[in-house]
Amino acid sequence: MIIDELEKKLRPPEILLKLYPPKVITLADGGKMVVREAKREEIGVLLETVHPLMGVPRDFYDIVAARMYAELLGWFRYRVANEFVLVGAINGVIAGIVNSRLVDEKVGMSLHTLTINRGLRIGAQLFAAKMEHHLEFLGQKEVWIVAESPIGFRRWMIEYALENREHLFPDTRHELGGVPTYVLTRELYDAVKKDKVSGQRPVPQELLKTADVLKAPEEYPQIPGYKRSKK
């Protein structure tokens, strides 16, 4: 594709990111969730998945979904620097999405974690995968994190014992609204890794194939009565 001069000026400078190697996690119900990096051409199904949740105020799904929707579009249209998107898929159906970006080579900035299927700790597993990518595959030193819901605060700030850098504002400043920034350092990550990061590699070809073509969920536990096929 030819990118004209003006478009070039609109795009942020990019760091070439290493790809996240896919993995498979066995969930409590025995289901297999393939976690892999999403591709830009999959934007349609990703937006389709996120969109219905923008109308769900409970547990702050609305703000998380709305912001993630914009961030995914920003990623697709090259308006966010160094963003990556991971998806968790069970039998090809999207069970959760996480996205993040790199501030620079050393610092990561976690954006959002959106769980579709609830009750199986899918959000927790995908958040851990995102941290794994930042610290292990992209070799970063730390990740800046904010929470937009009490559930997020419990899962990340408390369970990971994140470092509070509120007092270092504005030097350490997450871009999501200027709320207090917490940090996952390599040391903290190493301390919790065995209890937080799951998944097996390589993913057997047969399983990986199930996640080749992503499907948007037919139903959402957050939206009683919703059926995609009826829309």
Partner 1 sequence: MRRVAITGIGHTIFGNLSDFDLVDVMGYASSEALDDAGIRKERTIIDQVIVANMGGCFLNHQAGIASSLVSRLGLEPAQAELVENGPASGGSAVKMGFAAIMSGLADVVLVTGGEIMRTVPGWEGTDFVASLLHPEAEYNYGLTLPAFGAMFTRMYMERYGLTERDLALLSVKDHENGEKNPFAHVRIPCTMEGIYESPDANVVNNFIAEPLRLYDMCPVSDGSASLIMCASDSPKMKYFKNKKPVFIVGVGSATDTHCVHERKDPLELKAVSMSAEKAYKMAGVSAKDISFAELHDAFIILEIAISEEIGFFERGKAKEAIQKGVTRITGKLPINTSGGLKAKGHPLGATGVSQVHELVKQLRGEAEKGRQVKDPKYGMAVNFGGFGNNVVTTICSKE
Residues lying near partner 1 in the complex (CB under 8 A): 25-31, 58, 119-121, 125, 128, 150, 154, 194-200
Least distance to partner 1 from the beta carbon of 153, Å? 9
Among 80, 72, 70, CA closest to 15 = 80
What backbone phi and psi angles, to 5 degrees, belong to 56? -110, 100
Work out the burial of residue 21: count CB atoms within 10 Å of its CB; fewer than 13 is exposed, 13-18 middle, 19 or more buried.
middle
CB nearer to partner 1: pick between 87 and 128:
128
CB of 202 to partner 1, least distance (A): 14
Contact 60, 149 (CB under 8 A): yes
* Separation of alpha carbons 23 and 36, rounded Å: 7
- Rounded Cα–Cα distance for residues 190 and 135 (Å): 10
Shorter beta-carbon distance to partner 1: residue 120 or 138: 120
Residue 60 CB, shortest distance to partner 1, in Å, is 14
Helices (H), the chain: 5-10, 43-50, 61-76, 122-132, 150-152, 186-196, 205-210
Residues 6 or more apart from 184 whose CB is under 8 A from it?
A: 110, 131, 135, 142, 143, 145, 156, 160, 162, 163
Q: Which is nearer to partner 1, 80 or 211 (CB)?
A: 211
Min separation Cβ 14 and partner 1, Å: 33
- Residue (21 or 31) nearer to partner 1, CB: 31
Q: How far is the CB of 150 from partner 1 (least distance, A)?
A: 6
| Cβ-based nearer residue to partner 1, 49 or 198 | 198
